[in-house]
Structure 1
Amino acid sequence: MQAQSKGYGKRIRRFRWTGERLEEVGVMTPSADGGRCPADVFIVGAGVQVPDHLTSAAIDVLDQCQEIYSILPRSTSRLMPSRWASKTRDLQEIYQRGGRRLDVYREEINLIWQAARSNPPVAYLTVGNPVVFDSVTAGLIERAKCGDMSVRVIAGVSSVDAIMADLGIDYAPGIQILEASSLVAHNIQPRNDIDCLVMQPNVFGTAFVTMGRKPCAAALWPLRDHLLKCYPSDHTVTYITCSVRSGNPAHLESFPLSCLGGTEMSPQTLGASLFIPAAVPLKADEYFSDRFRDQSEFERNYR
């Protein structure tokens, strides 16, 4: 049986971001059991451009919470509503101590869970969409399966959404989304007839926190060599780092795949993601394509 969350029942002022400031749009009074979205831990996605991408659902939840545990950069946190400042806890300090990323994630999860147990509800505020390559989110959801406390995820604009918008490319007919280190560690062979998005190349090949460090060229060569098994060496790929400020363009850098990582004398400045367009066209199954266009098949199968 789940423990009932405490700390609810306050009148919650609702706001929306106008592009220049937060404007009050009403008041919500949650019920004793947590109102519209009861939980002990809210996992909140801030989007890519903060505070522009904050949804009304995210603002409502962050207003409810007793504490907000944030991994947003401090420069971004300063743009958040001032009423949240006194209850916001900066998790960046844990990263700055360095060490193995898994140990950092466990420390964050334990800290958030203990806070939720003593003074719920609390929020974990993260960039983008919280279920897109976020180990703390995964750990909190896994811990909630024990059943003693509840977790709710509030979606945000993901980096994948922002990347495709910045590139001006539709997801159709499909796209492969892979994490750089996992791609090599598990010997995943991407299809070369469908666009591929490789996430987190800037922390490729290490289990340790990279904050304040820059990779040498050789750090990326295992990723380069793995991708060259699937794509020609002169295939053009693009680093993309989305802008965190509205109105600013994304940073794009295109180059041949064989140059990934750069050289020892001239290592690359890595992007947050690597976009690899399809190298060969898709081939359609002729039998299925004929059925797909056949009106008699349509009449028979859709009534």
Structure 2
Amino acid sequence: MTTIHLEHVSRRYGSTVALDDVSFGLERGITALLGPNGAGKTTLLGLLSTAAAPDAGSVRVLGHRADGTLAERTEIRRRLGFLPQEVEFPSGMTAFGFLEYIAVLKEWNDKSARHAEIRRVLAAVQLDDRPTIKIRRLSGGQRRRLAFAQALIGDPELLILDEPTTGLDPEQRAVFRATLSDRGRRGIVLLATHQTEDVGAVCDRVIVMDHGRLAFVGDVPAFIETARGRVFVDDQPVPGAVASWRDPSQRIRSVGGRPPSDAVPTAPTVEDAYLLLIGPAANEVAA
């Protein structure tokens, strides 16, 4: 059963069209949301998290209208975990204190249960050894993990994450992926990201937006398949490629273009498919 459904949704800011007749549904699993800056991703997340309302169309989240009555919006928020791209932490708080503050806002009124939940989410992001450390003393990656932890409070049915792996090192990203994979088996995860390697690693489906419209909706293998036969390696850049660069073998990998007869097709990636769909026209080789 589809638990998120958008039908003919539009949203404008003055003369700027942020979303233009967007329709799709989401079910349990991890869906990546890709698109260049200004594509409408942040506006879409705002609608799904009940922070904004569409100018036209319908947004239903977990059986309720996201722009409905206060009671409907409150019910969605109780079942939602949200990680914005930028998080401002209250001055002087510890990691535990910040999470307790968020848990109280989420109506965790029983102190014993609340503290157990805080310890659980700290462990999930591997910060359980730093509960009493002041947030200002945490590294950038640790702060990002703390922000992720607040979104996990209550094991929400819907988890919305905006650029969650920014500032994480490879080891931290691996922990994030493991946590996310577990969540995707039990609920809906919408992951807005520019990190295409995260999409290939953990996501089931992908939505690509461009200029407020849907450019692709489908599963990740189908998305990668759109680039099949259009990515090549050769000694020179392929004429007309949208992007070309020198790979570790010192050959030139080209995405798209008009390949010569001796160019060798190679297996495409999520990034290749994305570049072919909406990437800028370019034919430069990275030295």
Q: Give the strand-richer structure, 1 or 2.
A: 2
Q: TM-score, normalised by structure 2?
A: 0.33
Q: TM-score, normalised by structure 1?
A: 0.32
